[in-house]
Structure 1
Amino acid sequence: MKTVRFSAERLLALFQQTPVATLAQLKTAPGTDVDLTAFRKLSALPYRTSYSHRGAYYTLDTLAHYNSLGLWSYRDIHFSRHGTLLDTAARLVTNAPAGYFTAELEALVQVAAKDALRQLVQRGRLDRRECQARYLYCAVERERRQQQWAARQAQQHPEDDLAAALVLFYSLLDEQQRRLYAGLESLEWGHGGDQRMAQLFGLDVDTVARGRVELLSGQVLRQGVRRAGAGRPRVEKKHPKS
């Protein structure tokens, strides 16, 4: 029995007529009723599946006009250079200077994203913390997450130039310096300072308290300077017997 072969050129001709197609159209173009055959031919092309409509639409990367975020919409059908909605949400949140609230991300992707964000947090691909009775979604990497939180805090109080300056300076420090600086500002603030600085800089209250205690006790290790007694033990020189 002779095997019937289908050419991907028929799919290219289809996409020249319409930039977005359904699976039914993909099967009709080469004249097959088998899903696997259509997908096998489609795999030879730089295609993309919509992250909206449960992935029911297809296009070619060469036809999509992605914006600076890697998103493209054709009518009410949405595509992403990053792939699925999960992958897209993870990339956009991680790259966002101040993270995203759910509503902010949904305004960009133009579909519901609450469930996708919840799954990403559960899978350890994103982190979240409460901010003004809402969840702010941030990168999972610690340093990036702290930068996003600090930037968001500065946005929440644009009239407070001093707070914005503190957050900016804090973002330039290394890990030990950030802890000590947060502790210093907590001392300056007085009662409730640990909680206030933790909120401002996106730290745990215990981290701020640790920095404050280190400053008060003087137990601060200068960068590049070892504590007394640290390092390899001294080796005494041996003199040859006469």
Structure 2
Amino acid sequence: MDDKKVLENFRRQKIATIEQLVQWLKCSVITVRRRLKEWRSLTSINQNGRYYTLPEVPVFDPNGLWRYQRVLFSTHGNLKQTLVAMINKSARGLSAVEIARLVDLPFNSSFISRMARVPGVKREKHEGRFVYFSAGPEIYTLQQHARASDRKGAGMPTDSEAVMILVELVKDPGIGIEQLATRIAHQGQWVEPEAIRAFLERHDLVKKTADTRQ
């Protein structure tokens, strides 16, 4: 298969491994890596970086993430660079749970805990949870104020967040509250499960979720 046909196949399949590309190109691993560099391909930030995609294929969400068949790609670089970028971009910092949901890591992942030692990030404990903030003084202050306001506020989703919740509930009436939070996080917003629960209870929708005790 020549390069043109390989690229067509690559775009159609969306993602590929080194092993697949070796078979398509009938060449060595070294040559495949050279081609990937020429094509400016992106490497997955999960699945041990085994997967590649062409730069024109992904449609990235507001967090700069794209998922395909449980494989995750980022506009920010590797996983560590991605977490730093998302923490600095977030309005109120990100808890370990929020980070885990965004990048499909276990909540107790050691990778997340190591972010406390990464330049540009600072970690603090808020209401029993570790929260990761920007180390930049100005952003950090804004994030702290936003998180404090969340605690003082009514704890209800905004109108746009409420629409997202209802859309997901219509798509999947049996969805759980934690799953709702995850789906919305994948769309670039974070809504606390407690806020989702309060919204559903106010509108008598809580019975429609699969497990309101989550």
Q: TM-score under structure 2 normalisation? A: 0.66
Q: Distance in 1 between matches of 2:154 and 2:60?
A: 36
Mapping for residues 49-88 of structure 1, pairs under 5 Å: 49-88=43-82
SS at 2:38's partner residue? coil
RMSD across aligned positions (CA): 2.0
Aligned match for 2:115, one of 107, 115, 120: 120
> Counterpart of 1:42?
36
Report which of the two structures shows the higher radius of gyration computed on alpha carbons. Answer: 1
Distance 1:49 1:70, change over 3 A: same
SS at 1:43's partner residue? helix
Q: Distance in 2 between matches of 1:138 and 1:38?
A: 39
Q: Distance in 2 between matches of 1:112 and 1:87?
A: 18
Cα contact 2:11–2:54 (8 A) shared by 1: no
Instruction: Say yes or no: does 1:30 pair with 2:22.
Output: no
Mapping for residues 1-242 of structure 1, pairs under 5 Å: 8-32=3-27, 34-112=28-106, 114-159=109-154
Cα offset, 1:133, TM superposition:
1.2
SS at 2:73's partner residue? strand
Cα contact 1:8–1:41 (8 A) shared by 2: no
* Unaligned residue ranges in structure 2 (runs of 5+): 156-214
Cα offset, 1:36, TM superposition:
1.3
Higher relative contact order (CA 8 A, sep 6+): 2
SS at 2:56's partner residue? coil
Q: Distance in 1 between matches of 2:22 and 2:137?
A: 47
SS at 1:29's partner residue? helix
- Equivalent residues, number: 154
Q: Percent identity?
A: 24
Q: Distance in 1 between matches of 2:77 and 2:105?
A: 14
* Unaligned residue ranges in structure 1 (runs of 5+): 1-5, 161-242
Cα contact 1:51–1:80 (8 A) shared by 2: yes
1:96-140 alpha-carbon deviations (Å, 9 max, x no partner): 000010111222222337433333321323101110111110001
Counterpart amino acid of 1:43? K
SS at 1:65's partner residue? coil
Q: TM-score under structure 1 normalisation? A: 0.59
Cα contact 1:82–1:88 (8 A) shared by 2: yes
Cα offset, 1:70, TM superposition:
1.0
